[in-house]
Amino acid sequence: MTTKEKITEEALTLFAQKGYKGTSVKNIADAVGIKDASLYNHFKSKQEIFNSIVELVLTHISSLSKTLGMPQYDKQYTTASSFYEKLDLEGLKALSREAFLFYLTDPYISKFWRIAHMEQYTNPQIYTMFRKIFMENAISYQEQLFEEMMKEGVFYQGDAKAAAISFYSPIYLLLSMYSDQPEHKEEALEILDRQIEEFFRIYRKKA
């Protein structure tokens, strides 16, 4: 691991423990084991360190898509529609479980989640980034995907955005409820399964 990568990782841990405002550049440098001046050889400011954390989180999200073979957040919604069309209920539940557990337990994403919720009332810039990644982008992707699936006759016709919110809101709620108690993940997964079953029943046309 390079010094720059270590700075990013230590900063992520400190921000998750003490908050962005409560963490100084000196705190980060001490955690890495370097002098303050040496840290500035890698980053110009604390904000730049945080920006690198955001890039790291986005990289981890992208790696999840590749690991599970899921279509990524791009404009190829037809490809994504074809991917999800092949999933039966058990396949969708299994995929949703893996994705949920990844977000719940990944050390980078879970810490970033904690930072955002700590800072939402004191640092609008950080919460705006979190909102864009974990709310706006997620719902927009699902909306476009479901719209395509409705056009293809995979889903019943309806309001694609309402369907997207219906699908994603329980997942977001469960992540919020269990982010600080991953040891109860089985309880969360049972609830998630029921949500996926209900969504599948309402929107998915029979093959």
Q: Which pLDDT tens digit goes with each residue over 79-126? A: 666 777 777 889 889 989 988 998 898 888 889 988 988 888 888 888
Mean pLDDT of the residues in the chain = 88
Look at residue 70 in the predicted model and tell me its pLDDT: 62
Report the alpha-carbon distance of residue 40 to residue 94 in Å, rounded.
45
Q: Above pLDDT 90, what percent of the chain?
A: 50
Q: How many CA atoms lie within 13 A of 25 on its CB side?
A: 15
Look at residue 154 in the predicted model and tell me its pLDDT: 87
In a domain, 105, yes or no: yes
For the chain, how many structural domains are there in total? 1
CATH number at residue 60: 1.10.357
Look at residue 75 in the predicted model and tell me its pLDDT: 53
52 and 8 Cβ atoms separated by less than 8 Å:
yes
64, pLDDT greater than 80: no
In a domain, 46, yes or no: no
Q: pTM of this prediction? A: 0.82
Output the DSSP codes for 139-204.
HHHHHHHHHHHHHTTSB-SS-HHHHHHHHHHHHHHHHHHHTT-GGGHHHHHHHHHHHHHHHHHHHB
